[in-house]
Structures are given as C-alpha cells and as structure tokens.
Chains A and B, each alone.
Chain A
Amino acid sequence: MTAATAPADFRTCPRTNLKIHAAADALIKANAVAATVALLIGGIAAILVLLTRWQAVHLLPADWFYRILTIHGMSMLIFFIIFFEMAILYFASAVVLNSRVATPRLGWVAFALMVLGALMTEATMWTGHADVLFTSYVPLQATSWFYLGVILFAVGALVVVFIFFGTLVVAKRERTYQGSVPLVTFGALTAAIIAFITLAHGAAIYIPTYLWSLGLMKVDPEVYRMVWWGLGHASQQINVAAMVSVWYLLGALTIGSVVLNEKVSRGAFALYILFISMASAHHLLVDPGLGSAWKIWNTSYFMYMAVLASMVHGFTVPAGLEVGQRARGLTKGMFEWLRKAPWGDPGFSAMIFSIVVFGFVGGITGVTFGTEQINIIAHNTLRIPGHFHATVVSGTALAFMGLTYYVIPLIFRRRIAFYSLAKIQPWLFAIGMLIFSLMMTFAGTFGVPRRHWDITFSGAPFDVQFNPAVNLVIGLMALGGLMAAVGGGIYILVTVWSVFFGERLPAGPLTGHGLPPGIATPPQPIPPGDHPKKATGTLVLVFVFLAAFIAYYFINWKLLSVVWRIG
C-alpha cells in the first residue's frame, strides 16, 4: 500500500458507510465552492438580463445588456455547471467506490487551470472585450484572451475527466468494490465519456478560432456553427447524464429508491453516448449550409434514440421510488407512495421538480422545436431559451441544488444553516422557473426574438407591432423569473453560510437540526421477502406525460401549416 492509500487518509461516512479519501473530500469542496461563486455571478447577471427584457423596467443600456447576457451564459452554462460536474465526477468515482483519487496533485493542477481560464474569460467579458454572447459566432470577434481562457478551462476539465477514468481503474485494481460499478457511477461514466467527446469538439473549434483572432487562419462561419454546437449542444448532454445520475443518487439517499432493472437504466445511458454528438443539428435546421437528409437524420439523434433514453429514465427513476416505497409498506391505492413521500426534504422535492419540469417542459419543447420543419417557427425566438431554461436550469441546476443539501452535511460535515428556508427553496425556485420558462416559450410563439435588447425597436426605420398579449406574457415571465431569483438567492445564502459559518457536525451518528430527513432519519431497509415490482402509479403518470407530448407536438405542426408556403 502506498502512502496515498493509508487508512489515515480515509474517513467513513456515518450515513452511507462509504470510505472517503481526504483528497476526494477536498477536491469536491473546492469545485463546489467555485461552482457556487460562478452561480452567484451568473445569477446577478440573470436578474439584470431579466430586468432589461422586462420592457416595463428596461434596466440596462444596449452595450451592457449584451455584455451581461454573455456573462450570464458563460458563468452559468460553462463555469457553474462544469465546476459542479467536476465535483460529481470525484464523488461518483472515489467516494461511491471507496477508492482513493488516482492523482490528487493533478486534480489540483486541473482545478487551478480551470480557475485561471474562468477568471481570464470573466475579465475579458466584464471589460467589454468579448461582447459576442455565449456562442461567439464567427466572424463576430472577441479578444484572443477570451478564447484562450475558454481553452484553458476546457483543458482543466478534460484532465479531471481523465482523473475520473484513472480512479475507476485504481478502484477496480485495488478491489475497493464488488462486482459491477453502481448505477450512479455508471451514469457519471457516461457523462465523462460525453464530456470527452464534447471537449474534443471544443478544442476543434476554439483552437482555430483563437488562431483566427490572432490573424493566423480563416474560420468559415457555417463550419464554426456546426462544430461549435458539437460542443454547445453536446455539452448539454453531459448535463443530462449527470442530472439523471443525480436523480438516481437522490432517490437512493432520500427514500432508498431501488433500481428496477440495471439493464434498462444502463442501456439508456449508453444510448446517450452513442447519439449525443448529433445534437449539433438542432441549431442548424434553418441554416443554409446543410441539406434536409443530414438535418433530419442528425436532429433525430438516429431516430430519436437519445430521446428514448430520456423517456426511459423518466419512467425508471419514479418507478424506482414507487417500488421502494411500496416495499416499505406504502401500498395503498395508486399514489400513496408519492403522497407520503418526504416533500419537506429539499433533496427529494428538488429531485421531483427536476424530473417533472425537465420532462414536461424541457423535453417536450426540445423535441418539438428540434423537428426540422417546426424549427422554422421556433429558431432564435424566445421559445428556444424557454426550452433550455426548463432543461438546464429547472432540470440540471435544480437537481444539483437538491444534491447540495446532502453534500453540505456529508462532505463539508456542517449543519445546513437556515434549514427552514432550505426546505422551501426548491419549491420557490421550481415554481418560479416553471412560470418563467412557460411564459418565455409562449412569448416566442408570437415571434418575439431571443437575445434582443429592445422589442419596442427604438431607433429602427420601421415600427414593429407584436400581438398585444406579448406585454402581459413578458410581465408574467418577469414575475416567474424574480421568484426563481429569490429561490436562487436563498440557495446561495444557505450554501455559503453553511459552508463558511455553519455549525460543524460532531463525529458519530448524524442527528439533530439542520439535516434533511434522508440523513437524520435514513430510509428503513427494505424488509426481507419477495416484493412485487409494481409501478402502476408511475405508469399512469408517464402516460399523462405522453398525452401532453403528443398534443404539443401536433399543435405545433398545425401552427406551422398556416404560415407561408416555403420550400
């Protein structure tokens, strides 16, 4: 045994009995703190963007609006979410498998690179040297330092992906677990593989773009769009895979939900890996560079097999909750298992809202807008940000928030401060984001453009009149957004306060205040015996989902059929 694996470097988690390597603890903490800082910056930017798009307030001037919008996109979609995912990769490898981190020192080098890259990028954006929005479409140009910052950040993330793979190898070789890796680790593995594919696309586009910004080569605008979205959209599938893993994880921690069928869940994860880089096509459906056969084949992820994967997880996760609850005696009727679930546990409520909003709003709108022809009435309108705020914010970010209420006691070993606020936080955030994303999508139905400072078009040569309903819808969107902002603010307050000023947990059993029920009163072990895998409640719910899906999908074909003939 080397020094790195000496038992002194490990502690045993009192809740899960997992053996946690000190380096894993420290790297998880560092990445989680960095993620929260990025969330704070992105969140402040979000409020400023919202208060500008709300025409009644129209807060920022045009230059600062686009600057802050760029900052919002980069801070949230790149820095917050990837830092958090790095923490998840350390957790799902070293912690879940009782292993040491393969190369802790390299982990710190990667972290330093990511922080450096993030700071460099933030600096160029705040000083107005990169007003190019999140997508930085060529030939709109930012300073070279912007692209270099992104490259450094991505290299750091890539190193962490390799450390994750290395840790899996170490755990296997040192026999720290029995048999196959747990499902949560398998899900994180798919996220890591997708991250590798995605970051390869990132290198393939940001390195040429960096050289272009130095005047050393040319970059074709359409090729840029295609390869950039191989990063931009495929990276959202890292988020999906990580989020689904967190669903399984929170299900296990909060109510001891079971895995119905490893084959089905793992098969669904594998579908993500196989078809995900085709998602670039979603952004090119009404582009001049590509033909219909290419568009149809790619936008459908090989006949919607990645959509099938999400629909499968959308069933297996709640069905796992249901079967677990029923096995513990909550067998009455169709929905006792759900009614008597711990709705006051912020980890549980966040998980459920994440599943519901991701599926019903994010999933349905995503597939519909990603249809080749329907994209004509969706592309670059507010329908698109409406869609992805339902997936990546209400889905991924909310799931990560729920997980945080378990990370604080189990990894930071502190009690959760302001616990009563923490309990309502997922509710505020989820309902706010639900209203926000629905209204945003609805406004887009009237053709209201995204990424636009002023939809009264002051200074334009011709006036533009939107449907009068638009003002009301945008107002409601703003209210939903502000409600979510309050939820986000509470999350940051609770997290920062708990981590830096919170009460340390004593060694030994975890009891007392400031702990979610999944920790203070862990789910009872399932009594021995034969338990039927009955999931009728879930089956009813997924058919409600399917009905909503079918309705929305065909309503959009109807909306499309009345516009001008185009061919």
Chain B
Amino acid sequence: MHTGIDSPPRVWWLPLHGAERIWVTVAFAWCLVLFAMMPLWQLKGQQNPSGIRHKVEPTRYYQRVQEFIKQYQVGEEAGFPIVAPPPGSDVYLLAQMWKWTPILKLQKGVEYTLHLSALDVNHGFNLNPVNINFQVVPGYDYGLKIVPNAAGDFRIVCDEFCGIGHHTMVGKVIIVDSAAAPVAAPGGAP
C-alpha cells in the first residue's frame, strides 16, 4: 500500500474493490437522475426559464415600453405609471439605473408574456416575496409566459449590482383577482 505522494506500483490499473464499486455505481445512477430531472421538468413542470429570446436595441426597447404605457395606462403612483394590460397580452418592463418602469397591474390566474430588458447595464429581476429571479441584460429581450397565482402587492428588487443607487431600485407589481379587475381597453387613457 502506498500514499498519494509516492509513485504507485508499476501496475496500477486494477479492478475496483467492493465498497468502491458500490459507491461509484450508486453515484453514477444519482447523476443520471439529476440529469433526467431537467428535461422532465421541461415537459411536465410549470416553471421553466426557456422564454422567447431575441436581441433588441436598448433604445428600441425603450420606445416599445413607452408605447405600451401609453396604450394601457390606468393611473400613477409615486411618479410611475400604473399599466393594466388585457389578459394574454405582451407586457413590457424596463430596467434602468435605478428604476423599474412601469408599475404592472395584472390579473391572477391569467397568462401574460412578460418582456424584460435593460437600457444601460445588467440588472436583476427579483420578484418579492415570491422569489423569482431573472437576469436582465441590455440588448436582449427575454419574454417569459407568466401566470400569477395569488393576488396582492409585489415588489421587484434589483439583484444585480448596477451602480451606487442599486439598493433604491424597487418596482411594483399589483395582482388583482380576475373578477374585480378593472382593465383598460386597448388605447384607453387613464
């Protein structure tokens, strides 16, 4: 028998002994389970980060968000427009130093396509208190089909460092029960 700082005996390509064989086999099987879970969740699970992805000029995205606000704005809070798009629509959220625009008003149990992109640097979408996180990268539009499952007031915290005002970058999402939801008609003004 030799240690790790000795040169091994001339022939060291030897079969595994009992306990070693057991562990390597079990560990290998577990690795396959770990691997299988991801494609399986793509098929059967309800939370996947796949999304719709394409490149977008940051200024072009900024304009798209402004159009979106104009189209569906229903109010204002703390200087931010509140936007209530109809069920099934595309929802645009803009991250920039150091704010999330606009405030979103969505219905519980309804699907939207949430678009995330940034105007300047990397930001991080962290929905509180649900704990959903996505990277928001300038130049890339990340469209995620979302279905809110509870009514209430939610916050978007920025969880990627984006400069000195990073900690003040908090946005808001309001989820209402579908029945009670006042929704702006397309093109409607507040």
Contacts and interface: CB of A to CB of B under 8 A. Distances in A.
Interface of A: 16, 18, 62-63, 66, 96, 131, 133, 137, 139-140, 177-184, 187, 220-222, 225, 245, 248-249, 251-253, 256-264, 284-292, 295-296, 299-300, 303-305, 307-308, 311-312, 315-316, 319-320, 323-324, 327, 367, 371-373, 375-381, 445-447, 449-455, 457-467, 526, 531, 533-536, 538-539, 542, 546, 549-550, 553, 557, 560-561, 563-567
A317 B56 CA distance: 51
B50 A567 contact: yes
Interface of B: 1-10, 12-14, 16-20, 22-24, 26-28, 30-32, 34-35, 37-39, 41-42, 45-51, 53, 78-80, 99, 111, 116-117, 120-122, 124, 126-142, 144-149, 155, 157-172
B126 A258 contact: no
Contacts of B166: 62, 66, 451-453
A376 B164 contact: no
Given A221-B139, A288-B142, A567-B48, A447 B16 contact: no
Nearest to B160: A380
Given A307-B31, A319-B20, A462-B155, A133 B161 contact: yes
A519 to B, nearest CB: 14
B23 A526 contact: no
21 contacts: A96-B5, A183-B5, A248-B4, A258-B2, A286-B135, A287-B140, A296-B35, A296-B42, A300-B38, A379-B124, A379-B135, A380-B133, A380-B135, A447-B129, A451-B160, A457-B157, A464-B157, A560-B47, A564-B132, A566-B47, A567-B47
A381 B135 CA distance: 12
Contacts of B24: 264, 308, 312, 315
A538 B19 CA distance: 9
Contacts of B172: 461-462
B47 A561 contact: yes
Given A140-B162, A315-B20, A450-B159, A381 B137 contact: no
A465 B128 CA distance: 8
Given A225-B122, A323-B1, A453-B167, 18 more contacts: A62-B167, A137-B122, A179-B10, A182-B4, A221-B121, A259-B1, A262-B12, A290-B53, A327-B1, A376-B134, A450-B159, A452-B159, A462-B170, A463-B155, A464-B128, A534-B19, A563-B131, A566-B46
B49 A375 contact: yes
Contacts of A284: 135
A169 to B, nearest CB: 17
A180 B8 contact: yes
A262 B8 contact: yes
A303 B32 contact: yes
A114 to B, nearest CB: 27
A261 B14 contact: yes
Contacts of B130: 447, 563-564
Contact of A465 (B14, B129, B141): B129
B99 A461 contact: yes
A377 B32 CA distance: 23
A283 B155 CA distance: 23
Contacts of A549: 30
B135 A287 contact: yes
B12 A180 contact: yes
Contacts of B45: 373, 560-561
A300 B4 CA distance: 29
Contacts of A295: 49
A91 B23 CA distance: 32
Nearest to A132: B161
A295 B49 CA distance: 10
B73 to A, nearest CB: 17
Nearest to A245: B4
Contacts of A533: 17-20
B137 A177 contact: no
Nearest to A456: B167
Contact of B31 (A220, A308, A379): A308
B27 to A, nearest CB: 4
A177 B3 contact: no
A566 B146 contact: yes
Contact of A304 (B31, B39, B50): B31
